[in-house]
Structure 1
Amino acid sequence: MRVAITGTRSTGHRSLTEYAGFFAQYLGPFALATSHFFIGGAKGIDSLSLLWLAGNTGAALTVVVPGTLDQQPADARQAITRTRDRITEVVELGAAELRTPAYFARNRWMVDHADMTIGFPLAGAPPTGTWQTLNYTADQGKPRLIVPV
């Protein structure tokens, strides 16, 4: 099973324990030794899910960034550094500018390489890149699991 993960960057409204519970419940069943997760290299859900998957599963992990790893936020780079020995691959898409189109291209790349998408959108927020990714997944005829946080 190949799974793309998408989610909000705004995660300060919940505790790390709550996120660990969400990940155990909603990522855990898909995290077999033969599974492969595609995770964006941003802060928020991307970094939190990377840390959880690396520490709690044997699944393969690919981190996908729109430009280069050096362009990612400091806390996201720190999460990647902490889990580097568990990361199967880092894909740098090389976007010249880190604007919305580059992030959408990264999200489409992950969905195109996955069998399904698990999304963690911010509950009650207006549509964001997370929703764009989830809608793109549906447009591709692939299943999606939506877990508002």
Structure 2
Amino acid sequence: MRAVAITGTRKTGHKSLTEYANLFEQYLGPFAPAAHFYIGGAVGIDSLALLWLADQTPASITIVAPGTMSQQPAEAQEAVARTKGRITEIVELAAAELRSSAYHARNRWMVDRASMTIGFPHTTEPSTGTWQTINYTTEKGKPRLIVPV
């Protein structure tokens, strides 16, 4: 079974839900029948991908939070609650403080367990968490698929 880390922007208001569903169908769908997805428990691409995968595919799903799920934004908690029956595992990494370093550690944790990463960046700014995750995937010598949104 292929393991796939998903990373992406939290800023998703510039596209419709239909547009995201089409992107997920094109770029996540081909892997979904025989894949296990690692998704951060955040808003934006994380929550949208979770909802789509849970509703449209038989894929296994692990949600990874840098601290605890109760520390995640309400929208992300709601997405997890709505799909709880489809989530294989929820991993809470118990970071003492939710700073950038905790999110980077979460992203590295997912990439370390995945065989590839699919990234949905909104900008080309290399300092974003999405790009840092994509670049970490590159450093690990793993394939990555980049789908600009």
Q: Report the TM-score when normalising by structure 2.
A: 0.97
- Alpha-carbon distance in 2 for matches of 1:101, 1:125: 18
Matches within 5 A, 1:21-32: 21-32=22-33
Amino acid at match of 1:16: L
Shift of 1:127: 3.4
The separation in 1 between residues aligned to 2:98 and 2:7, in whole angstroms, is 17
Counterpart amino acid of residue 106 in structure 2: R
Instruction: Quote the residue 1:147 is aligned against.
Output: 147
User: What does 1:1-149 correspond to in 2, within 5 Å?
Assistant: 1-32=2-33, 34-125=34-125, 127-149=127-149
SS in structure 1 opposite 2:98? coil
Instruction: Say if 1:55 and 1:10 are closer, same or farther in 2 by CA, change over 3 A.
Output: same
Opposite residue 66 of structure 1, the aligned amino acid is P
Gaps of 5+ in 2: none
> Deviation of residue 123 (structure 1)?
3.6
Alpha-carbon distance between aligned partners in 2 of 1:30 and 1:39, rounded to the nearest angstrom: 14
Matched-pair identity in %: 70
Query: Secondary structure, in 3 states, of the residue corresponding to 1:122?
Result: coil
Quote the offset at 1:35 in angstroms: 1.2
Shift of 1:125: 4.7
Query: Residue type matched to 1:84 in 2?
Result: K
Deviations 1:31-64 (A, max 9, x none): 01x3100000000000000000000000100000
Query: For the aligned residues, what is the CA RMSD?
Result: 0.9
Q: Deviations over 1:85-136 (max 9, x none)?
A: 0000000000000000000000000000000000000045563000000000
**In 1, distance between residues paired with 2:97 and 2:123?**
29
Q: Which amino acid aligns with 1:128?
A: T
For the residue of structure 2 that corresponds to 1:75, the secondary structure is helix
Unaligned runs of 5+ in 1: none
Aligned positions, number: 148
Structure 1 outlier segments of 4+, above 6 Å: none
Task: Tell me the distance in 1 between the aligned counterparts of 2:144 and 2:124.
Answer: 19
